[in-house]
Amino acid sequence: MTIKCGIDLGGTKIELLALNGDGNALFRRRVATPQGDYRATLIAIRDLIENAEQIVGAIRQVGIGTPGAFSRVNGSLKNSNSTCLNGKPIHYDLEMLLHRQVRIANDADCFALSEAVDGAASGADTVFGVILGTGVGGGIIVNGRPLSGPNAIAGEWGHNPLPWPRDDERPGPSCYCGRSGCIETFLSGPGLSRACASATGFNFDAAAIAENALQEDAACETLLQQYEERLARALAHVINILDPDVIVLGGGLSKLARLYQNVPHYWGDFVFSDRVDTRLVAPTHGDSSGVRGAAWLWE
């Protein structure tokens, strides 16, 4: 029996999922991501695999989803919000450390692939997978295959400027990429918390903001409405360019159930069409989609 595993290399956690040939889960484990330490991150991945092999046997196929993309110039990672990975030949280093072939793709591509294969977007021709978490990313699946592009940046909508900005949104917060006003600075979890701190003086996370809004906290309700309208503008830009059948939200902010009703209510004002048939859906596999998609890289 061929056993494969997916690994989701995130900014705060590393998750491994081992699957059998039928795609059934055999073993799962999460550990905290070593902060700012490239070598320790590689070792954490190796230790997870070795631990899994003690339980399920030899793992022949390893797929990894990681933030960022690989440079076509030198093979090193670029554009990762886990900045200690940038400029490093992580693909080569992992294959040397693990003594086996490794397949690596952008974490948003893995998320989108999982949901397109057997998740919320199963059967759709064109899928845009969105990560709304510590960072903001996107992955594109066309006819069941990830779209990478000649620059390996297809779907990187988080580092475009927030479209149709209001006067009070210019120039926008500074981004780690060196620019200001990126979509990520407005729509990431830290971006929402920063907006909350500015408006209320409290550094609440998304879950706390949503709970306060349910308790009729006017300031938190206003923050969520502002977030939803900004997300609608950002996704309308994607629809105008890609026109996907389905948009699937992932990351911590995808758990805000109100997004799926409210965002499509707003985006019709910005999509260049007389109606919008694109579906906005929650992920079937939740925060396990990325790690499952990494394993699907071997299909």
**CATH number corresponding to 4-110+288-296:** 3.30.420.40
Domain chopping of the chain, boundaries: 4-110+288-296, 123-283
What's the confidence (pLDDT) of residue 11? Answer: 80
**Domains 4-110+288-296 and 123-283 alike in fold:** yes
What's the confidence (pLDDT) of residue 46? Answer: 97
What's the confidence (pLDDT) of residue 76? Answer: 92
**Overall fold of domain 123-283:** Nucleotidyltransferase; domain 5 (3.30.420)
What's the confidence (pLDDT) of residue 295? Answer: 93
pTM for the predicted model, two decimal places: 0.89
What's the confidence (pLDDT) of residue 69? Answer: 85
Q: Name 250's bridge partners.
A: 131
In three-state form (DSSP H/G/I as H, E/B as E, the rest C), the secondary structure along the chain is: CCCEEEEEECCCEEEEEEECCCCCEEEEEEEECCCCCHHHHHHHHHHHHHHHHHHHCCCCEEEEEECCEECCCCCCEECCCCHHHCCCCHHHHHHHHHCCCEEEEEHHHHHHHHHHHHCCCCCCCEEEEEEECCCEEEEEEECCEECCCCCCCCCCHHHCECCCCCHHHCCCCECCCCCECEHHHHHCHHHHHHHHHHHHCCCCCHHHHHHHHHCCCHHHHHHHHHHHHHHHHHHHHHHHHHCCCEEEEECHHHHCCCHHHHHHHHHCCCCCCCCCCCEEECCCCHHHHHHHHHHHCCC
| pLDDT values of the chain reduced to their tens digit, one per residue, 299 residues | 789 999 999 888 899 999 987 778 999 999 999 999 999 999 999 999 999 999 999 998 999 999 888 888 888 998 887 888 999 999 999 999 999 999 999 989 999 999 998 899 999 999 999 999 888 999 999 999 999 899 888 999 999 999 999 999 999 999 988 999 999 999 999 999 999 999 999 989 999 999 999 999 999 999 999 999 999 999 999 999 999 999 999 999 999 999 999 999 999 999 999 999 999 999 999 878 899 999 999 87
What's the confidence (pLDDT) of residue 123? Answer: 93
What's the confidence (pLDDT) of residue 72? Answer: 85
CB 2 within 8 A of CB 290: no
Interatomic CA distance for residues 278 and 271, integer angstroms: 10
What's the confidence (pLDDT) of residue 176? Answer: 86
